[in-house]
Structure 1
Amino acid sequence: HKPGALQPQLSPENVVIVGLRHADPAEARVLKDSRVSAFTMTDIDAMGMRDLMHEAIRIATSGTQGFHVSYSPQVTEFAGWEAGSGGITVRETHQAMEAIALSGGLLSMDVSGLTSGLEPRIAIDTVNFVMSAFGKRIL
């Protein structure tokens, strides 16, 4: 705690992982020992994306000014795309992004995994997910 030193801006109890599909034993142990909340695909199946996102947003915004979202297309199961195999459905991804927008707490967002080799249909859907998170609506 030197004067002028950077102080942590992120509290583990506000970090939420949604759609966890795999964790090796060491990773699982670290997550269980941390104060990070992790919702697996099993949790999504049991709770439904709507209720799970309400809980995730509640955790992320508890005592904060808002939250950041990090998204990778690999979390979404696109038909015929191996990288997303076993992931959140396209509809569930939109539902999560719509919940993020409705919460009014989104401060920033990053998208990883966008490469020049990414199939155009996946890139287009990813852009649509991002627009949903920032409030784009059908009507």
Structure 2
Amino acid sequence: MKKSAVYEAFHDKEKDLRFFAGDNGNPPPHFHRCIEILYITEGKLLGEVDGQSFYAEKDDIIFVRPCGIHSLTPYPAYKNHVLIIKSAYADDFASVLEKETLPPLLCDKKFNRTILPDLKRLKNPAEQENFLIAKGLIDIII
């Protein structure tokens, strides 16, 4: 678990909002003090969130609640968009997530595709730097 503690300590110091494209990540079980959303854009993976295992594929979304222990394993390969949301952006819905949370696998592909354009807008640094625009997009996504 030492590797996981180092991983968490590094990522916990990041800025409030982080968006990046990834592929074939195979991180050890770890957690963040923030929300993590992964949109699978290609391929398939074996995911685990808080002990619940599942397969995710193109147009599925993986939702990881704050402090949710999670890991990903390519099956055999995947690409994704990753959105890491710190507390400053989550206060509109944080109290709701304290009582209940979304399931780790959101597999309504048709619906998921409707929020993909808003998710992709967060790739633009100008959108990330404008707190109100970024917060509004996150409120739409969540």
Q: TM-score, normalised by structure 2?
A: 0.29
Q: Which protein is bigger by CA-based radius of gyration?
A: 1
RCO higher in structure (CA 8 A, sep ≥6): 2
Whose helix fraction is larger, Structure 1's or Structure 2's?
1
Task: Looking at secondary structure, tell me which structure has more strand per residue.
Answer: 2
Provide the TM-score with structure 1 as the length reference: 0.29
